[in-house]
Amino acid sequence: MKPSLLRRSQNLIVWLGVLPLLLAFVAERTSTQHVRSVQDSLSTAELIQQLDELLSTVQDAETGQRGYVLTGQERYLTPFLSAKATISQKLSAVDRNAARHGATQPQLALLRTYIQQKMDELQRTVDLRRSRGLDSAMAEIETNRGQEYMVRIRNLIGDLRRDQARAFQGELSLQNRRQLQLEVVLGCGVMAGVVLVFLAFRFTILYVRDRDDVERKIRSLNETLESRVAARTAELQARTQELELRSADLQRSNADLAQFAYIASHDLQEPLRMIASYMGLLARRYRGHLDEAADKYIQFAIDGASRMQTLIYDLLSYSRAGTQALEKKPLSSEALLQAALQNLDVVIAESGASIHHGRLPMVEGDEIKLIQVIQNLIGNAIKFRKPGIKPEISVTAKAAPNEWVFEVGDNGIGFDPKYTDRIFEVFQRLHGIGTYPGNGIGLAICRRIIQHHGGRLWAESQPQVGSKFFFALPSATDSRHLESDIESTRPPISRAMHVSS
């Protein structure tokens, strides 16, 4: 090969290596900038759409409120309830997206305040219509507060939308410039590529041959992969349908079981009451007239009937705890605690227990059922105390996101943490009947009541150290403050009522 030809070949090889890298680097940077511009435009468009959806949701809530106020029919509340359930999520989505686009926090905070005021006004009107009738609800509407809130919301969303629309136009202009730059770079790359392909024709022949082989292999692999994906998809669909059918069957079975438990327990009470009554009559009339064994057998029957009545009562309580409609209203946790302690007066006095509580919040729920939960938890803390040691029980509450977490702690015998789930199951006991009284259903009832309120109930414990029972309740709209700043100690008192065990 001549030196000049060799030199040209060497230069060609160098350019074949350098020029594609240079073009790839420039194209990659330009393409990245273009993609970023497109993403910014899409994100801005998404924010505009989110603002429109947020306004539409508030309008839907207002439409549902008007329909219910005018007709008093619950079915008109569907748009309002749907909007109420999703408004917080949509506000959070707007907050996250708007923060990336230069929207000021004061604007977003003001928008959230306006929407909260509007939703509160709608809820207040619905409550007035439900509790006091059309005239009271119309009087609230005629104050025009709701209209003022709606005007503020529309104006603020309009301002935010216009700002984002201007930003969107700017991003589109930048996107067009990036597109032009990318086209120029690609054009230069194409021209350089044509020259390089012409000069490297012999190398291209080999490349095309290898490429064809690779493409044939890829097509073969794709066909195999598609068949596998189709088979797997069909299998997953079949399993999904099977799971849906099983889930539906399970829901029906649970409903039937709950209904059966309620009916069976209810229908068993009358014959059992008759048995207990006649056995008591036999005991009173014939005690001393029969032999000692007969008196003992009669007493066994009376005790068994009494235990069965308690079991039926507890089973009915468990069935009602998850199915009976809740009579929710704002409640003082302090008042709930005092009512529970009043019901436990005799038990507290006999055990010498000391009950301490910190500052407690306002909550929303069914008064009778929440008293039952607190009463059962404190009653268990007293029942499972260490021999010879007076129970020390504390009741506290702390705020968590969208909920209040209550804690009932004691210095009792505790239990092994591996039984944490078992103690909340129906008729599950960690001790024999002769050791501690009860039927093992009280905690199951408590968990069902708390879950029916939309909350959670769980426990932590160590043997011979003590136990802590926690339950979380959703926060009421006006309960983010604590009710009392005074920590009190409950002295022993002298009354008690039934506690499910």
DSSP string for residues in 142-155: TT-HHHHHHHHHHH
Name the residue among 37, 342, 308 with its Cα closest to residue 169: 37
Residues 175 and 50 in one domain: yes
Mean pLDDT (the chain) is: 79
Decide if 408 contacts 381 (C-beta within 8 A).
yes
Q: Quick check: is 246 in a domain?
A: no
Query: Which one has a higher pLDDT value, 243 or 169?
Result: 243
Residue 496 has a pLDDT of: 35
Q: Which residue has the tokens 């032009």?
A: 180
Residues 357 and 459 in one domain: yes
pLDDT at 456 over 90: yes
- For 93, the token pair is 């989505």
377 backbone dihedrals φ, ψ, rounded to 5°: -65, -45
Q: Quick check: is 220 in a domain?
A: no
Q: Quick check: is 216 in a domain?
A: no
Residue 40 has a pLDDT of: 64
- End-to-end CA distance of the chain: give it in Å, rounded: 102
User: For strand 354-357 and strand 392-400, is the pairing parallel, antiparallel, or unpaired?
Assistant: parallel
Residues 315 and 331 in one domain: no
Render pLDDT for 110-127 as a digit per residue (tens, 0 to 9).
888 888 888 888 888 888
Q: Quick check: is 240 in a domain?
A: no
Residues 161 and 14 in one domain: yes
Residues 181 and 156 in one domain: yes
Residue 495 has a pLDDT of: 34
Q: Quick check: is 439 in a domain?
A: yes
DSSP single-letter state for residue 500 = -
Render pLDDT for 171-187 as a digit per residue (tens, 0 to 9).
677 777 777 777 777 77
Residue 485 has a pLDDT of: 41
pLDDT at 491 over 60: no
Element housing 276 (H / E):
helix 201-286
pLDDT at 382 over 50: yes
Residues 335 and 314 in one domain: no
Decide if 311 contacts 440 (C-beta within 8 A).
no
Name the residue among 387, 392, 375, 357 with its Cα closest to residue 466: 392
Residues 68 and 169 in one domain: yes
**Domain hosting residue 132, numbered range:** 3-199
Query: Which one has a higher pLDDT value, 295 or 490?
Result: 295
Residues 282 and 383 in one domain: no
Residues 306 and 400 in one domain: no
What integer is the mean pLDDT of 82-106? 77
Name the residue among 410, 421, 334 with its Cα closest to residue 379: 410
Render pLDDT for 199-245 as a digit per residue (tens, 0 to 9).
666 655 655 666 777 788 888 888 888 888 888 888 888 888 888 88
400 backbone dihedrals φ, ψ, rounded to 5°: -135, 170
Residues 361 and 482 in one domain: yes
Residues 63 and 113 in one domain: yes
pLDDT at 481 over 60: no
* Contacts for 4 with CB less than 8 Å, ≥ 6 apart: none
Range of weakest confidence among 135-144, 187-196, 459-468, 490-499:
490-499
Decide if 301 contacts 279 (C-beta within 8 A).
yes
| Domain tally, the chain | 3
- For 37, the token pair is 């511009």
